[in-house]
Homo-oligomer: A and B are copies of this chain.
Amino acid sequence: MKSNKSILLVEDDPNFGRILKDYLTINNYDVSLAVNGIEGFEKFNRSEFDLCILDIMMPFKDGLTLAREIREVNDVIPLIFLTAKNLKDDVLKGYKIGADDYLTKPFDSEILLAKIKSILNRKPNVNVEEKDVFEFDFGDFNFNSKLRILTHKEGESYKLSPKENQLLKMLVLNFDDLLPRDIALNKIWRDANYFTSRSMDVYIAKLRKYLDKDKSLKIINVHGEGFRLMQE
């Protein structure tokens, strides 16, 4: 009937990795095991997973770096970190990147299983459409959010920075509608406070500069609420 959920497990300790993989397999998950961050990222790109379990401490490319790369491509897939005991800093970094959970080694396998179930049982992510759209036309512009390039019909192309790119994408996806400040902050900056908010304002200013080439486009502010990309 329903095909098993698939998990990407990235763990450098071959013994432990093997055991964990077997345990999860017995419990009806399809597990793909990678032994370091580099291999992990390759596997991640080769197939579709429902969940990633990443060891933080790994040679070549650690779990946090790998997580960042994964998040650049996919900002919905759940991430669980494995961390050695009491590395609070790693845990906090993990959450900042967008982790869903973490476990400190050694951990209880049943609890891991419960966590996995809990995470996978959440409402299936609604935005089916949002997933693959990365090219947009609006005003005199073409915008490729995968390549992070914004092109004006007549002339210039701009290479957007990651943050510029994310913010513009959210604005475009909400074209002519309100993009609430909090939503953008929590999605792009993963935190909403005074400083991230100021940072967002700076990026709005940058985007306005780009969009200035088409005088009909405007990013207007709704005081206290957010921003709205519109064409008059």
Contact = CB atoms under 8 A, between A and B. Distances in A.
Interface in A122-137: 122-123, 125-126
A178 B146 contact: yes
B91 A114 contact: yes
A193 to B, nearest CB: 9
B121 A123 contact: no
A161 interface: yes
Contacts of A108: 88
Contact size class for A? 35 or more
Given A1-B224, A148-B225, A92 B117 contact: no
Contacts of A121: 186-187, 190
Interface of A: 1-2, 88, 91-92, 95-96, 98-101, 108, 110-111, 114-115, 117-118, 121-123, 125-126, 146-148, 161-162, 177-178, 180-182, 186-187, 190-191, 222-225, 228
Closest 8 CB pairs of A and B: A95-B114, A121-B186, A123-B125, A95-B118, A92-B114, A2-B182, A162-B224, A88-B108
